Structure 1
Amino acid sequence: MVIHALLAVTLAMTSLPAQATTVDCARVKCLALTFDDGPGVKTPTLLKTLKKAGVKATFFLVGKQVELRPEIARQALAQGHAIGNHTYSHNSLPALSDNEILEELKTTQDAIEQATKLRPKMFRPPYGHTDDRVLGLADQVDLAQVLWTGTTLDWKLRDTKKIKAAVLRLAKRDGVILMHDTVPETVKVMPEILKELKKRGYHLVTVPTLLRGKGPEPGVSYP
Structure 2
Amino acid sequence: MAALVVLVALAACGEAPDREHTRAVADVPVLVRPMVYREPDPETRRGLGPDGRPDLCVRAKCVALTFDDGPMEHTERLLEILARYDALATFFVVGKMVEEFPDVVRKEVAAGHEIANHSWDHSDLASLSAEGVTAQIQRTQDAILRQSGYRSVLLRPPYGSSNERVAKVAASFGLPEIIWAVDPMDWRDRSSSLVTRRVLSETRPGGVVLMHDIHATTVDAVPAILEGLAAKGYRFVTVSRLFQGTVLKPGHQYRERKTSVAR
Q: Which runs of 4+ in 1 moved over 4 A?
A: 20-23
Name the amino acid aligned to 1:58.
Answer: T
Answer with 61-70 or 23-32: which moved more: 23-32
Q: Which residue of 2 aligns with 1:188?
A: 220
Q: For residues 227 and 54 of structure 2, what CA distance do their matches in structure 1 show?
A: 20
Structure 1: state its 5+ residue gaps.
1-14
Cα-to-partner distance string for 1:58-96 (whole Å, 9 max, x where unaligned): 000000000000111111011111110000010111111
Answer with 204-213 or 39-48: which moved more: 204-213
Cα-to-partner distance string for 1:184-217 (whole Å, 9 max, x where unaligned): 0010121111011100111111101110242444
Q: Which residue of 2 aligns with 1:152?
A: 184
Between structures 1 and 2, the one with greater helix share: 1
Q: For residues 131 and 247 of structure 2, what CA distance do their matches in structure 1 show?
A: 26
Tell whether the 8 Å contact from 1:139 to 1:218 is kept in structure 2 after alignment: yes
Q: For residues 162 and 92 of structure 1, what CA distance do their matches in structure 2 show?
A: 27
Q: Which residue of 2 aligns with 1:71?
A: 103
Q: For residues 168 and 101 of structure 1, what CA distance do their matches in structure 2 show?
A: 35
Q: Which residue of 1 aligns with 2:207?
A: 175
Name the amino acid aligned to 1:117.
Answer: G
Say which SS state the counterpart of residue 155 (structure 1) adopts.
coil
Give TM-score, length-normalised by structure 2.
0.75
Answer with 212-221 or 193-202: which moved more: 212-221
Name the amino acid aligned to 1:208.
Answer: S
Tell whether the 8 Å contact from 1:157 to 1:163 is kept in structure 2 after alignment: yes
Give TM-score, length-normalised by structure 1.
0.88
Tell whether the 8 Å contact from 1:33 to 1:204 is kept in structure 2 after alignment: yes
Q: Residue 93 of structure 2: which of 61, 73, 79 is its match? A: 61
Task: Give the number of aligned pairs.
Answer: 206
Tell whether the 8 Å contact from 2:106 to 2:148 is kept in structure 1 after alignment: yes
Cα distance, 1:22 vs structure 2: 7.5
Q: Residue 78 of structure 2: which of 32, 46, 56 is its match? A: 46
Name the amino acid aligned to 1:209.
Answer: R
Name the amino acid aligned to 1:183.
Answer: H
Cα distance, 1:104 vs structure 2: 0.3
Q: For residues 214 and 193 of structure 1, what CA distance do their matches in structure 2 show?
A: 26
Cα distance, 1:116 vs structure 2: 1.0
Cα-to-partner distance string for 1:150-203 (whole Å, 9 max, x where unaligned): 111101010111110111122100000100000100101211110111001111
Say which SS state the counterpart of residue 222 (structure 1) adopts.
strand
Indicate yes or no: 2:124 matched with 1:92: yes
Q: For residues 106 and 180 of structure 2, what CA distance do their matches in structure 1 show?
A: 24
Say which SS state the counterpart of residue 196 (structure 1) adopts.
helix
Cα-to-partner distance string for 1:91-125 (whole Å, 9 max, x where unaligned): 11111111000000000000000111112111100
Indicate yes or no: 2:57 matched with 1:25: yes
CA 138–99 in structure 1, closer or farther in 2 if over 3 Å, else same = same
